């Protein structure tokens, strides 16, 4: 018997602010980032995914964009501890999930994506869920997309 579990990506405003303060601090001091450090860009925010179950199989993405634009979702690996260390480029997982809605699309039109990458990305998240209770993601909002216009979740199959 299998059941589905839909997990919504939730914004983490506190962690996003901490990462923005790191960028601001470097700029004010005239310093450069550490070798390999990944700084948060102005069009990015940190989101989290909390796993209530650990044994999951990826099923599908549910992404809604209320207006045209592009959303890029990049996962961070289990090595990053956001409260203790800076995010390093090597801790970002490939592939990223890229979802977009073209100029002429209506608000309820299907969102496009690179299907093979989205499938592999979802499967990698399911693998990491086996050893993680929470995962962090960078959401990049581009081409007119904004946090207010995005609804993003991932659905897994749970074997019981």
Domains and CATH numbers, the chain: 2-159 (2.60.120.390)
Average pLDDT over residues 61-73: 93
Instruction: State the number of CA atoms in the 13 A half-sphere of 157 facing the CB.
Output: 8
Share of the chain above pLDDT 90, in %: 64
Average pLDDT over residues 43-61: 93
**What pLDDT score does 1 carry?**
65
């Amino acid at each position: 018997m299998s059941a589905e579990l839909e997990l919504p990506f939730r914004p983490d405003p506190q962690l996003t602010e901490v990462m923005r303060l790191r960028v601001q601090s470097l700029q004010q001091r005239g310093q450069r980032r550490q070798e390999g450090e990944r700084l948060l860009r102005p069009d990015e925010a940190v989101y989290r995914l909390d796993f209530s179950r650990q044994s999951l199989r990826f099923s599908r993405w549910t992404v809604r964009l209320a207006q045209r634009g592009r959303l890029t979702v990049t996962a961070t690996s289990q090595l990053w501890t956001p409260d203790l260390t800076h995010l390093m480029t090597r801790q970002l997982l490939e592939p990223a999930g890229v979802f977009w809605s073209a100029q002429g699309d209506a608000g309820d039109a299907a969102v496009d994506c690179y299907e093979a990458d989205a499938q592999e990305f979802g499967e990698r998240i399911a693998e990491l869920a086996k050893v993680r209770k929470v995962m962090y993601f960078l959401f990049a909002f581009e081409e007119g997309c904004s946090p207010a216009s995005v609804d993003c979740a991932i659905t897994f199959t749970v074997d019981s």
